[in-house]
Structure formats: structure tokens, C-alpha cells
Amino acid sequence: MLERFNIVNRLSGDADLILTTVDEAVNLARANSLWYLLMGLACCSIELMQTGGPRADLDRFGSLFRATPRQSDLMIVAGTITLKMAPRLRRLYDQMAEPKYVIAMGSCANCGGPFDRSYSVLRGVDKIIPVDVYLPGCPPRPEALTEALMKVQEKIKKERYFLKKEA
């Protein structure tokens, strides 16, 4: 891997060291292995599947789905959250290990979307879990979801993970 990107060769002549901080090295690893929870709530999940497919190919960002919240770093809330589903969604979020991130994908997850005045729909997933990236669209295109994932990566790379104070 390192040879392929010519890092070792480039450095081997005149230096034996790469200087960086632990935070930066770990953040690079974390940002490029964002595993997301295999979870779809409504039609946005179809776009989520497309994004994971070969054309948009989320794999190239080191991102792939896990079918359990315990192995997931990222929750993509793809679709309408009904009030019946909301406690279950919260439970899935609670089962994910820290550090964890959330993308609210599509209008429904942002604010209730077209079902805003409905008796049965949660008006925005931020009522029950903290959200890192709000992604508008109904539904958002796979390119947009890729962009949202890159925003999460940017956020992770800026974090000072090891110096983070426990809440």
C-alpha cells in the first residue's frame, strides 16, 4: 500500500521518519474507515443502496455497511421516521459505540419533509438524536450523499480525538 503511493520510496533515501501527531494519524484512519449502519427507513434508502453500489461506489472512501449497530461508526438516517419507529431508532443509536456520527438524509429526516403535518411522523430526527450533517433533497442523489459522507470525514479529520474531554 505504502509502496503503491510511493511514500516509502520517496522517504527512504533521505529520511526514516514521518512526523505527525497521533490525533492526525488516527483521524486519517477513522475518517477513511467509516462503516455505516445498514438501515433504511423509506425511499431515501433506495438512494442509499445506489450510493453503496458500483456507480457512486461509497467503498472507495473506505465506507461500507455493517448489519449491526455495534460495528458501525455512522448512522445514515435514510427516510421518514414515524413516531412508532423513533424509539427503535434511538435504541439503535444508543447501541452504536462512540465515536459515532449521524447523517440526516433527505427532507423527512431533516424536518418531517412532505409529512410535516402528519399525526404519525417525527418532525426531524434531531428531536431524538444529535445530527452531524443535514442533507437536503427528496431524495438526495447518490452524489449528494457522497458529499455528505465527505463532510463527515472533514469533521473527523478536524477532531482532537485523544484530547477530547469525557462528558
Partner 1 sequence: MPMDRAELISMLSSRLGSALLSAEEMKNDDILLVVDRQQLVAAAGMLKNDPALSFTTLMNHLGADYGDRLAVIYNLYSPLLRNKITIKVYLDRGDPSVPSLERAFPGIGWYERETYDLLGIRFTGHSNLKRLLLPDDWEGHPLRKDYVYPASYHGIDTSRPDLLDDARAPGGRDV
Footprint of partner 1 (CB under 8 A): 83-84, 86-87, 111-112, 116, 119-120, 122-124, 127-128
The separation between the first and the last C-alpha atoms of the chain, rounded to the nearest angstrom, is 37
Question: Three-state SS for 129?
Answer: coil
Smallest CA-to-CA distance from 42 within 108, 140, 99, 114 is with 108
Smallest CA-to-CA distance from 100 within 59, 152, 140, 150 is with 152
- As measured in angstroms, the least distance from the Cβ of 68 to partner 1 is 24
- As measured in angstroms, the least distance from the Cβ of 141 to partner 1 is 25
- As measured in angstroms, the least distance from the Cβ of 122 to partner 1 is 7
CB atoms within 10 A of CB 32: 14
- As measured in angstroms, the least distance from the Cβ of 144 to partner 1 is 22
Closer of 54 and 87 to partner 1 (Cβ): 87
Determine if the peptide bond prior to 99 is cis (ω within 30°). Answer: yes
Smallest CA-to-CA distance from 131 within 152, 103, 161 is with 103
Closer of 5 and 119 to partner 1 (Cβ): 119
Closer of 71 and 120 to partner 1 (Cβ): 120
Closer of 84 and 160 to partner 1 (Cβ): 84
